[in-house]
Amino acid sequence: MVDDHPSQIEGYKVILEYNKSGHEIKATTAFTAEAAYNIIVSGAAFDVIFLDRSLPAFPEKNIFSGEDLAVLAKKHMPNAKIVILTSHAESFLLYNIIKKIHPEGLLVKSDFTAEELLNAFEIILQGEMYYTETVKQSIKELLSTEDYLDSYNRQIITLLSQGVKTKSIPEILNLSQSTVEKRKAHIKEYFQIERGTDEEIVREAKKRGFI
């Protein structure tokens, strides 16, 4: 279980102890991306990995979020079931997680109760996927759009909406500065705001229901 709030992890552990399948919960915990990275590459094996999406970064290993840890975990522990928990409910962000990670579970924290977390746990252990209602609704709305932007452009819009400056985006997405600028130009063209600012990109994305 990886979360930068220890109390969250303790809460999850207590709830999961009440699982109806009788599984004993033996949790290994990490509170930073660096700590989680070291556990994942150590050769340890887990049945289920719970990852908070937002974590203190570990830039030395290009780990900037729970998504990056999920990619690493899939490489080192392909049989482990990945569950990502996030406070963010932006359509682009949730869609990107599904396309990039294909997690067995994707839960928006404001969605689920203790009962739903238990239900999700049981379903995931049975080999099925579990997405909370906000995830399902957001993806449905995004895919109902006849023409939506590609993965990198969606990530750029999401980062801008979170207040990330353009100069910081290349490091996060592993793109060159010129590529980011070209993609921003494409986004502005898509939104028909060719001379728009970052704030106008975010405003237009919100107006269209993308974030």
CATH for 160: 1.10.10
Are the C-beta atoms of residues 8 and 54 closer than 8 Å to each other? no
**43: containing domain:** 6-143
Q: CA 44 to CA 182: how far, in whole Å?
A: 42
CATH for 122: 3.40.50.2300
- φ, ψ dihedrals at 108, nearest 5°: -85, 125
Question: What integer best gives the mean pLDDT of the chain?
Answer: 90
Instruction: Tell me the pTM.
Output: 0.71
For residue 1, being part of any structural domain is answered with: no
For residue 163, being part of any structural domain is answered with: yes
Residues 39-82: pLDDT tens digits? 999 989 999 999 999 999 999 999 999 999 999 999 999 999 99
For residue 116, being part of any structural domain is answered with: yes
Residue with tokens 């290009």: 62
Place 144 in a pLDDT band, splitting at 50, 70 and 90: low
pLDDT of the residue at 146: 45
Cα separations in angstroms, 45 against 74, 78, 166: 11, 10, 38
pLDDT of the residue at 211: 73
Query: Are 135 and 165 members of one domain?
Result: no
Query: Are 47 and 139 members of one domain?
Result: yes
Query: Are 158 and 187 members of one domain?
Result: yes
Query: Are 53 and 126 members of one domain?
Result: yes
Query: Are 175 and 84 members of one domain?
Result: no
Chain centroid offset of residue 28 CA: 20
DSSP-based helix, strand, coil % in the chain, nearest 5: 50, 10, 40
Place 189 in a pLDDT band, splitting at 50, 70 and 90: confident
For residue 157, being part of any structural domain is answered with: yes
Count of CB atoms situated within 10 Å of the CB of 39: 19
Q: Which of 120, 143, 166 is the last residue of a domain?
A: 143
pLDDT of the residue at 176: 95
Are the C-beta atoms of residues 71 and 101 closer than 8 Å to each other? yes
Q: Which of 143, 160, 182 is the last residue of a domain?
A: 143
- Domain count for the chain: 2
Q: Which of 98, 118, 143 is the last residue of a domain?
A: 143
Count of CB atoms situated within 10 Å of the CB of 185: 11
Are the C-beta atoms of residues 14 and 119 closer than 8 Å to each other? no
Cα separations in angstroms, 62 against 58, 91, 93, 101, 152: 6, 24, 19, 16, 17
Query: Are 40 and 96 members of one domain?
Result: yes
Residues 110-129: pLDDT tens digits? 988 999 999 999 999 999 99
For residue 121, being part of any structural domain is answered with: yes
Query: Are 17 and 63 members of one domain?
Result: yes
Nearest CA among 117, 74, 100 for reference residue 174: 100
Residues with Cβ < 8 Å from 204, sequence gap 6 or more? 191, 193, 196
